[in-house]
Amino acid sequence: MELRILLLFSTLLIYQTHTFEFVIDGDWDSELESHDDDPKSMELPPIFRRRRAILVSEEEEDFEAIKGHDITVKSYKVESRITSRFAHTTVRSSVINSGSTAQSIGFNVQIPKRAFITNFTMNVNGITFIGSVKEKTVARNLYAQARARGKAAGIVRANSQDMETFKTEVHVPPGSRVEFELHYQEVMQRRLGVYQHTLHLQPGRLVPHLQVDVHIFEPKGISAVETPNTLGELFQGITTVTQSKDKAHVSFRPSLQQQRKCHNCTDSAVDGVFTVRYDVQRENDAGELQVSDGHFVHFFAPTNLSPLSKNIVFVIDVSGSMWGLKMKQTVEAMQAILSDLTLDDYFSIIDFNHNVRCWSEDLVPGSSINIEDAKKYIQNIKPNGGTNINEALQRAVQMLVKASNQGLIDQRSVSMIILVSDGDPTVGEIKLSNIQKNVKRIMREEFSLFSLGIGFDVDYDFLERIAMDNRGVAQRIYANHDAADQLRTFYSQVSSPLLRRITIQFPEGSVSDVTQSHFDKFFSGSELVVAGKLQSTGFPTLHSFTTASAATMDLTLQAETDIDELDPILNQQPHSVTGFARQMWAYITINQLLAERALAPNAQKKRTITQRILNLAVEHQFVTPLTALLIESESEKLLADSPKDPKHGCCSGSLGLRPPVQRLVHTIPPWAHATAPPTPSPATGHITIVDNDPHFIIHLPKRDMNVCFNIDSEPGKILNLVSDPGTGVVINGQLVGSKAPQNHKLKTYFGTIGVFYRPEGVRVNVRTDRIDVVEGKNNHSFSWGGTADIITKGVKISIEKDSKVTVVVDGRISVMVLLHRVWKKHPINVDFLGFYSPNDNQYSEQVHGLIGQFASEPDIKVFNVHDGPDPKKKEATMDIKGNKLSVTRGWQKDYREDKKRGSDVHCWFVHNSGKGFIDGHFTNYIVPSLDSFLPEL
């Protein structure tokens, strides 16, 4: 990508005898002016593409941030403020012309390709130039006026892998002081589980005041911060990191001596990229919803999900231009990529030059035999001939279509084509727009195309358009010594898809101007971001509802936030980014509109999108491909112009993909809501309860009677509650002990409740710290910190945030698990679970267990009611199963409505761990694992 800085300069009289002027060389690129509204202009003549590639790939081995032969750099300071993944970076430098003659002083900054410049100011001997973003037509007019007056103007082009170069020069008399200041903003992208912030440091000389400060504020907390020493061994230990729960400060301030290459050297060793990596705390899989300054941002990055299986066709260019290092590194990368495939993945390889060959005509599983054979095939490729991209891509699509039609592709799997090429088509169909149409025509909606362009000869614009048009992304691979690592890194980002068909929605009327909210795929270690404007509803909270398809289940996740919570917190942070949510929304919207503009089907549509981009860019002061930065004092003007093409692109995809918004309702069975009033009540309704340490309350509906008993066992033991071989359902609870004995007795509680549905192999293990859903080898974990609905193979799991989990099996059997939290530092108590189950569950006649045995209500009689030692508690005799038991009238608690105090439930209490009331002894109900059925008693 190239960053064009158009500088219009004139001469300004200083002290009546000295002048300074802005100097830069280059030519104005007229492609925007000529073809702005013509979709055909996206396809440039091959000779122009090669010319542009040469300009972009020019080497700058002598790059220096500050240029000049006899100058003194007083300071060079870089400050980045990152608030909720939105970064605002400021680069400042103060320079003096120490020479005896007038000279040019250059200020060069390499910024990330995805960043937007927001301002540039310059002070020359007290005269300040201040920037403002204007429409690009202003730049053209000023350029024409400058040329008419014989003034100079020019373009700067960039050449580095992840950065682009901002350059300017000012010609000043001796003794002049120049102060430069550049601002740019970007949204941090999460890749492979971290956000990475990079700052390019090449001062080119020793600087008395050289410092870098990175301030990070993440409201929900920072999980980790690291600063890999990417500048070299000389700077080991100089970087400092100060971190609290939600803030971090990274500082790099080498002294003059520490900057030297050697003890007596005058050259600076500061030459490279300064890197900060971090990640955030995530309370739940529903995502993080933040509201500030009338805008909202929703961050979605679930973890602990099993990856979806993949169907991949690798399409590799083996034309003559790939000969040598390019092919060697492609082969090296493919060896590692193939090793990453699993038995659940299907793949094939197509290599092409003027001909198209298939390693296998059909997709094959990723077995060790197939992988080794594919590696040998790749190793023996000899590049030669032309480039037939059109036929190769069509063959790849046809291969996926065939596999899908034959039923080889799992409906929940991810199908993708990965194209690796280094050049333009030269054989077969060579018109780029026709190739794009041909692929689009036969590509199914469930397939994606990822394009990797090696080197600078390839038409990267085309690769980007064809990828975006088919639900993928493109990436340039730089043909140098680490090209194999670049290929492997890209593959790592797409090798572990976790979700498909993700839709993030909001209650109707609560938000507007929402960015892309429907996504085809979510990959492990990445993050989806949705932003928009908040509408006035009168409600204090904003909710989001996310639906998605995982490996074996469908998810509905709910997040919420207090709309007035964040702004007061931000106001107290000295280094927060003011208006971060508003700027982030504009940044994402502009990038998505740029991507949409590149795919516009006609000139009218393109003009409409262009105007929206212009309006947003000017309002939010972003230098985009369609705007320019006008920098002026009273008599001088300077223009900074950004690239034509949307290569910053953080967020590809059409805004039109968003489905109609509808309110999603989280459903809990009616019985799971408390029916008992807060005052004592003799009955709970048709509910059986096991709660506290653990107290069993068995409701016998025919007699409208509750019978209670306790189980006194040991921590770690697993008690069977329901064992029903007929329906294939088993419910077990594992005990956990208190931290210390109380009154010489160690209390036990349920720390885990397990529900196993054997016909479908689904296990739901509810713990006090998480909820695990296991299906075969797929293990998914969910946090108590969010509300969610999960549906998998006849089992529905509904999680209510920090409250309860309801499990419904086959629509016939439902249970509810209640979470009890205690103070973490309590010397005795621990978190525990309560178990609630309705009496109308449809068990089979084979059901048993501590609770299951009462699905068929036994004959029971209570008589001889009389006063006991405690006048508040009557005593009686219970006749059941031929046993006469002494029972006491008392009460236990139903915590469905009030988890702190509970509601009293009166019952007849059976002593000695239910002996005589339950079949056998309670030890007969101890099982070895959470999915164990009860042996026949």
What b/e string do you get for 612-627 counting C-beta neighbours within 10 Å, with b at 16 or more? Answer: ebbebbbebbbbbbbb
Asked if 301 and 218 touch (Cβ cutoff 8 Å), the reply is no
Residues 523-529 have a mean pLDDT of 95
Residues 767-790 have a mean pLDDT of 91
Residues 535-544 have a mean pLDDT of 92
* Reported pTM: 0.82
CA-wise closest residue to 849 among 861, 833, 831, 835: 835
Confidence band for 329, pLDDT divided at 50, 70 and 90: confident
Residues 860-868 have a mean pLDDT of 93
**Cα–Cα dist 916/910, whole Å:** 8
Confidence band for 378, pLDDT divided at 50, 70 and 90: very high
103-112 β-sheet, strand order: 12-14, 18-22, 163-172, 103-112, 66-67
Asked if 784 and 767 touch (Cβ cutoff 8 Å), the reply is no
Mean pLDDT of the chain: 84
Asked if 556 and 666 touch (Cβ cutoff 8 Å), the reply is yes
Helix or strand (DSSP H, E) at 780: strand 778-782
Residues 696-715 have a mean pLDDT of 92
Burial of residue 411 (CB within 10 Å: 0-12, 13-18, 19+) is: exposed
More confident residue, 720 or 668: 720
Residues 31-59 have a mean pLDDT of 33
At 450 the pLDDT is 94
* Residue 682, pLDDT above cutoff 50: no
Give whole-number Cα distances, 164 to 108, 159, 160, in Å: 10, 7, 6
At 656 the pLDDT is 29
Paired residues of 731 in beta bridges: 722, 755
**Cα–Cα dist 476/379, whole Å:** 23
Ramachandran angles phi, psi of 37, nearest 5°:
-110, 15
**Cα–Cα dist 904/178, whole Å:** 79
At 281 the pLDDT is 94
* Residue 133, pLDDT above cutoff 80: no
For the chain, report the end-to-end CA distance as a whole number of angstroms.
Answer: 75
Residues 699-720 have a mean pLDDT of 93
Paired residues of 289 in beta bridges: 298
- The dihedral built from the CA positions of residue 380, 383, 388 and 393, taken in this order, carries a sign that is positive
Long-range contact pairs involving 789-793 (C-beta distance under 8 Å, separation at least 24):
789/555, 789/556, 789/557, 789/666, 789/667, 790/553, 790/554, 790/555, 790/556, 791/553, 791/554, 791/555, 792/552, 792/553, 792/554, 792/760, 792/762, 793/552, 793/553, 793/757, 793/760, 793/761, 793/762
At 937 the pLDDT is 63
* Residue 829, pLDDT above cutoff 60: yes
- What the block records as the tokens of 884 is 């006469």
Write the pLDDT tens digit of every residue in 340-364: 999 999 999 999 999 999 999 999 9
Ramachandran angles phi, psi of 34, nearest 5°:
-85, -30
Paired residues of 690 in beta bridges: 696, 835
More confident residue, 901 or 431: 431
Asked if 33 and 641 touch (Cβ cutoff 8 Å), the reply is no
**Cα–Cα dist 231/361, whole Å:** 48
* Residue 25, pLDDT above cutoff 50: no
Helix or strand (DSSP H, E) at 707: strand 705-710
Confidence band for 167, pLDDT divided at 50, 70 and 90: confident
Q: Which of 141-155, 623-637, 684-698, 837-851 has the highest mean pLDDT?
A: 837-851
* Residue 13, pLDDT above cutoff 60: no
Any idea which of 52-66, 387-401, 791-805, 821-835 has the lowest mean pLDDT? 52-66
Asked if 136 and 626 touch (Cβ cutoff 8 Å), the reply is yes
**Cα–Cα dist 486/482, whole Å:** 6
Which string of DSSP letters, residue by residue, matches 709-733?
A: EE----TT-EEEEEEETTTTEEEEE
CA-wise closest residue to 806 among 795, 793, 792: 795
* Residue 409, pLDDT above cutoff 60: yes
At 638 the pLDDT is 53
At 66 the pLDDT is 74
At 89 the pLDDT is 97
Residues 206-212 have a mean pLDDT of 95
* Residue 239, pLDDT above cutoff 80: yes
* Residue 169, pLDDT above cutoff 90: no
Write the pLDDT tens digit of every residue in 256-292: 999 999 888 888 999 889 999 999 999 888 999 999 9
pLDDT cut 70: percent of the chain above it: 84
Write the pLDDT tens digit of every residue in 451-500: 998 887 778 888 988 998 898 988 888 877 688 888 899 899 999 999 99
Confidence band for 600, pLDDT divided at 50, 70 and 90: confident
Any idea which of 676-685, 757-766, 819-828, 890-899 has the lowest mean pLDDT? 676-685
More confident residue, 788 or 11: 788
At 686 the pLDDT is 67
Asked if 446 and 419 touch (Cβ cutoff 8 Å), the reply is no
- What the block records as the tokens of 148 is 């008419």
At 669 the pLDDT is 58
Asked if 91 and 201 touch (Cβ cutoff 8 Å), the reply is no
Q: How far is CA 109 from the centre of its chain?
A: 29
Confidence band for 153, pLDDT divided at 50, 70 and 90: very low
At 51 the pLDDT is 23
- What the block records as the tokens of 460 is 């990267």
Confidence band for 24, pLDDT divided at 50, 70 and 90: very low
**Cα–Cα dist 365/311, whole Å:** 9
Helix or strand (DSSP H, E) at 464: helix 460-468
**Cα–Cα dist 529/471, whole Å:** 16
At 219 the pLDDT is 95
Confidence band for 125, pLDDT divided at 50, 70 and 90: confident
Residue with tokens 């639906």: 547
* Residue 134, pLDDT above cutoff 80: no
SS3 for 853? helix
Confidence band for 866, pLDDT divided at 50, 70 and 90: very high
At 921 the pLDDT is 93
Helix or strand (DSSP H, E) at 389: helix 389-405
* Residue 91, pLDDT above cutoff 50: yes
Which string of DSSP letters, residue by residue, matches 21-39?
A: EE--------HHHHHTT-G
